[in-house]
Amino acid sequence: MASLADATPPIALGALDGRYRGAVAPLVDHLSEPALNRERVRVEVEWLVFLTTHGVVPGVRSLTEAEQTALRQVVEDFGADEIAELAEIERETQHDVKAVEYFLKRRLSAIAPDESDRGLAELIHFCCTSEDINNLSYALMVKGAVEQVWLPRATALVETVATMASDLRDVPLLAHTHGQPATPTTMGKELAVLAHRLGRQLRRIRGAEYLGKLNGATGTFGAHLAAVPGADWPELSREFVESLGLQWNPLTTQIESHDWQAELYADVARFNRVLHNLCTDVWTYISMGYFAQVRGQGTVGSSTMPHKVNPIRFENAEANLEVSNALLDVLGSTLVQSRLQRDLTDSSMQRNIGSAFGHSLLAIDNVARGLAGLDAVPAAMAADLDANWEVLGEPVQSAMRALGAQGVPGMEEPYERLKELTRGRRINGDDLREFIAKLGLPDDVAARLSAMTPATYVGAAPQLVDYLDAD
């Protein structure tokens, strides 16, 4: 039997890099191993530029504008050749960050070849522990992935749900509580609830803090002060971290504590869970016939039953949301823990960030495609409403309660009287109107309740959809 492991090109072990590659490929630019190395190169380059332009080390010249541009171009041009070169260096160093240092020293020697400038190379990785570079690199990676890939996709999806809510704001719907017929609403209002919930989580995620530190092996600036005692190293660290677009963390051990990551992943997981709720609700509406799945898209619903169009997009999304949340939850719980100054559990754990976001992004893609294939079926919703006149027991007994509180006679035990009429059996419009006529209600109240139907008993549901505009 041929070994699949030896196939060329290599076969992906996981679904994200195989079957679903197209949906998640943009995350590779941010959360892959090569992306990590590119950000490490970026941080090392910016640290060298910062040290020289700020004259931190006495007697060291500043890099020229051309030299700074050339070094930054190394980051911009980082591709297959650079990935291979770094891998070759790492096989010798057996240390990934040290390999980046040696890689950049090679580039600097080509950019500034003068013998008198050889000392500049010693400022690459100056006073840095590996975690100084890694924590900043991961912060830049996650920030880029969230702001440039995940958030735009998630925002577009929520906007789609909000648009559906607006389009269906007036379409009456029989609500269900505990799976049983309940007070009518509108399909638009129910979708608006989901859009509102998802939007709240997006606002939290947009406000996420991305922290970083650069303070040495135990967070004390010990090496920095030993090398250049006259510099204000905490202030220089703050200025450098903020120059990268991150927020400075002044108090850390050898590692940045990763609390911000746990906070972000909890918010993304919560978004995922609300989206999972949307999937199960829409799946249920499809099963009830309230939504029809658009046919003629070339899909096969069932291998044996030609009539079927299965709600696979929502089912696929559910599974991927569950995988994503399992990863996000373990990331959040593990990353906030560290033995004393540090251990390497965070290093291994953070390599799963891409998978966590990948499964969430894949779910978002599936939900978007699923929603695009739906048509509302108001007639099916209307039929269920017309078959459940007993839900109007609520407004009748509520009106009787209000009248009883005002001293109108004959309004005693309204709940009990409506329960006797409606519980455990179906009634129709004639049954209800006959019951109302015998209650002794004021004429205007009797007329208002008699004119009501399950389809008109939706309260302020259509108007509530408009609150989405304020989000």
The domain limits of the chain are: 25-128, 131-380, 389-453
Q: DSSP 3-state assignment of 143?
A: helix
| CATH topology match: 25-128 vs 131-380 | no
Query: Of 62, 243, 287, 302, which residue is the catalytic one?
Result: 302
Q: What is the DSSP string of 315-352?
A: HHHHHHHHHHHHHHHHHHHHHT--STT--SHHHHHHTT
> Per-residue pLDDT for the chain (471 aa), expressed as one digit of tens each?
878 888 888 888 899 999 999 999 999 999 999 999 999 999 999 999 999 999 999 989 999 999 999 999 999 999 999 999 999 999 998 999 999 999 999 999 888 877 656 778 899 999 999 999 999 999 999 999 999 999 999 999 999 999 999 999 999 999 999 999 999 999 999 999 999 999 999 999 999 999 999 999 999 999 999 999 999 999 999 999 999 999 999 999 999 999 999 999 999 999 999 999 999 999 999 999 999 997 545 454 444 444 457 899 999 999 999 999 999 999 999 999 999 999 999 999 999 999 999 999 999 999 999 999 999 999 999 999 999 999 998 998 898 899 889 988 888 887 788 777 777 778 888 988 988 888 888 999 999 999 999 999 999 999 999 999 877
* H or E element that contains 388: none
Give every CB contact of residue 128 below 8 A, 6+ residues apart in sequence.
Answer: 47, 214, 216
- Exposed, middle or buried by CB within 10 Å (0-12, 13-18, 19+), for 408? middle
What fold, for 389-453?
Answer: Ribonucleotide Reductase Protein R1; domain 1 (1.10.40)
What fold, for 25-128?
Answer: Fumarase C; Chain B, domain 1 (1.10.275)
Question: Could you confirm whether 302 is annotated as catalytic?
Answer: yes
Q: DSSP 3-state assignment of 115?
A: helix
What fold, for 131-380?
Answer: Fumarase C; Chain A, domain 2 (1.20.200)
Query: Of 3, 178, 303, 348, which residue is the catalytic one?
Result: 178
pLDDT for 332 equals 97
* Helix and strand element counts for the chain (H, E): 21, 6
Q: What global pTM score does this model have?
A: 0.93
Strand partners, 313: none
Question: Could you confirm whether 347 is annotated as catalytic?
Answer: no
